[in-house]
């Protein structure tokens, strides 16, 4: 019983990790020859444009979004917010195909503001996955 209690306490205190959630929605798409960038965020636009030459005519879109300073006022999350690394932001990089719809999703919870290194790591993961 003590071991089970210790495991649950450990999981409770770990909260969110530095690992991104990666989901493949269409596993038939394994290689992309190009991407176009869709984002309204200045930081993402600036950083991602440094990492890749996006093509406005490409049929595959990288939709990038991020948010920092998220505050949850729900009483249900009070213990988790007080005792763990409750996320205060996120980075999301989704790839959509005109025919396929959502192909791939990279999602990362953050404890603070989204940094250039987080963006670079996320996009590097996409480049490796699709041979860009």
**What pLDDT, in 10s, does the model give residues 110-120?**
877 888 999 99
Domain residues of the chain, as ranges? 2-130
**What pLDDT, in 10s, does the model give residues 74-89?**
455 555 555 555 556 8
> How many Cβ atoms are within 10 Å of 88's Cβ, its own excluded?
18
Q: Are 8 and 84 in contact (CB under 8 A)?
A: no
Q: Are 12 and 84 in contact (CB under 8 A)?
A: yes
Helical residues (DSSP H) of 37-97, grouped into ranges = 42-51, 78-83
**Rounded distance between C-alpha atoms, residue 84 and residue 7, angstroms:** 15
Q: Which CATH architecture has domain 2-130?
A: 2-Layer Sandwich (3.30)
């Amino acid at each position: 019983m003590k071991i089970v209690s210790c495991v649950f306490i450990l999981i409770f205190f770990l909260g969110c990790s530095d690992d991104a959630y990666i989901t493949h929605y269409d596993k038939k798409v394994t290689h992309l020859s190009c991407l176009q960038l869709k984002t309204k965020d200045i930081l993402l636009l600036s950083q991602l444009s440094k990492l890749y030459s996006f093509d406005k005519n490409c049929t595959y879109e990288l939709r990038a979004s991020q948010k920092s300073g998220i505050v949850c006022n729900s009483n249900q999350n009070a213990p988790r917010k007080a005792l763990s690394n409750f996320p205060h932001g996120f980075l999301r990089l989704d790839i959509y195909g005109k025919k396929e719809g959502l192909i791939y999703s990279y999602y990362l919870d953050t404890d603070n503001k989204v940094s250039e290194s987080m963006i670079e790591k996320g996009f590097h993961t996409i480049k490796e996955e699709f041979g860009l």
